[in-house]
Amino acid sequence: TQLLEQSPQFLSIQEGENLTVYCNSSSVFSSLQWYRQEPGEGPVLLVTVVTGGEVKKLKRLTFQFGDARKDSSLHITAAQTGDTGLYLCAGVGTSYDKVIFGPGTSLSVIP
Amino acid sequence: NAGVTQTPKFRVLKTGQSMTLLCAQDMNHEYMYWYRQDPGMGLRLIHYSVGEGTTAKGEVPDGYNVSRLKKQNFLLGLESAAPSQTSVYFCASTQGLAGGYNEQFFGPGTRLTVL
């Protein structure tokens, strides 16, 4: 069974601070995705990383896929209150039909 | 385009009652999924479908059944609801392309309480 772990589970920071969220697994994935979910809504895809070692940037968000394609990190620079939400990592299996979600990191950015 | 819609948004059931959750997508996606989300556990896959007329079990299929009679619809059934099935249920769909770029589009969720 493929499992994804995320750390930390909860994170509360001041606006303007930097933070990193981690996603780890003992399994290899064909790609890894990061979603953000706001209260009362479904998750929305932020990024997909496919190649081991890949780094993608979306404005203040930097995503990295581990060389062995088992782990990933999300770094947010100068957090804003609009970054508040639940961040979920998801591993896409090698058969491409299923996505396994991690438990999520709940981020609260305080003004 | 409406994307992925779910019906109903909220429901309260008594133990032993049955109900069906409806998911509809207008993006002509091949793959559809049902997840449940519980605090601290992320999204857990209940059942999924890789095409019209096909279904498969996910991580937590017990107590649920599904049907995909039409490509755009994916139904989740609870035959005899139990309090352990109290959760928020999300439906998702994706085109299902190989190569890892399988963005899942989610519905707004159904909040189910079983008393």
Q: What residues of chain B, 42 to 81, have a C-beta less than 8 Å from chain A?
A: 42-45, 48, 50, 56, 58-59
Which of B59, B42, B93 lies closest to A34 in space, CA to CA?
A: B42
Per-residue pLDDT band for B100 (boundaries 50, 70, 90) equals low
The alpha carbon of residue A91 is apart from the nearest alpha carbon of chain B, in Å, by 9
Interface contact flag, B45 A48, Cβ < 8 Å: no
| Percent of chain A residues topping a pLDDT of 70 | 95
Interface contact flag, A92 B40, Cβ < 8 Å: no
How many CB atoms within 10 Å of residue B68? 20
**Site of tokens 């755009």:** B72
Q: Which carries the bigger pLDDT value, residue B83 or residue A92?
A: B83
Q: What average pLDDT does chain B have?
A: 92
The alpha carbon of residue A20 is apart from the nearest alpha carbon of chain B, in Å, by 19
C-alpha to C-alpha distance for A23 and B20, rounded to whole angstroms: 34
pLDDT for A46 equals: 95
